[in-house]
Structure 1
């Protein structure tokens, strides 16, 4: 399993890329309402904060299982956010 630092980088890159996709969509569609895009960005930021908070939890019994669950949740969250971006 990758170390904690790599997982934090993955969280940052994945959610950052989703936010960049929303910004790119907003630039390509200047006449459309941006509220849906802003909601996706807000959700991505809230997810980022939640993942980092979970990463920094010191009271876990099984670290390997804990980080594996975080990685799986990151994949589910990213997939959901990308589906929302694609539906813009």
Structure 2
């Protein structure tokens, strides 16, 4: 069972890694329109804000049961964002 602090770090690191991927894509495609990649970064930041808000809203009696759906939501959302990034190339 992980603590809230560790789960927040996991969210931060995971979304931060995705944002870095987007920035690397921007550097490797200087001729591309950056508006679409900026939208992906905005979506990632919105996902971060949403997950952190959900952590604070939940009345947690059992952290493991609360974090499970949130962790799945994080993974599914990031997979969708990564597919969008792949479509940009």
Between the aligned partners of 2:58 and 2:69, the Cα distance in structure 1 is: 15
Match of 1:83 in 2: 83
1:65-84 → structure 2 map (5 Å cutoff): 65-84=65-84
SS of alignment partner, residue 31 of structure 1: coil
In the other structure, the counterpart of 2:2 is: 2
Q: Secondary structure at the match of 2:59?
A: coil
Aligned residues: 88
Matched-pair contact (CA < 8 Å) for 2:15–2:48 = yes
- Structure 2 unaligned spans of 5+: none
Aligned partners of 2:62, 2:50: CA distance in 1, in Å?
19
> Deviations for 1:35-78, whole angstroms, at most 9, x for unmatched residues?
11011000000000000001112534554322111111011111
SS in 1 for 2:85: helix
TM-score by length of 1: 0.89
User: What is the TM-score normalised by the length of structure 2?
Assistant: 0.89
Backbone CA RMSD of aligned residues: 1.4
Structure 1 unmatched ranges of 5 or more: none
Structure 2: distance between partners of 1:75 and 1:58:
19
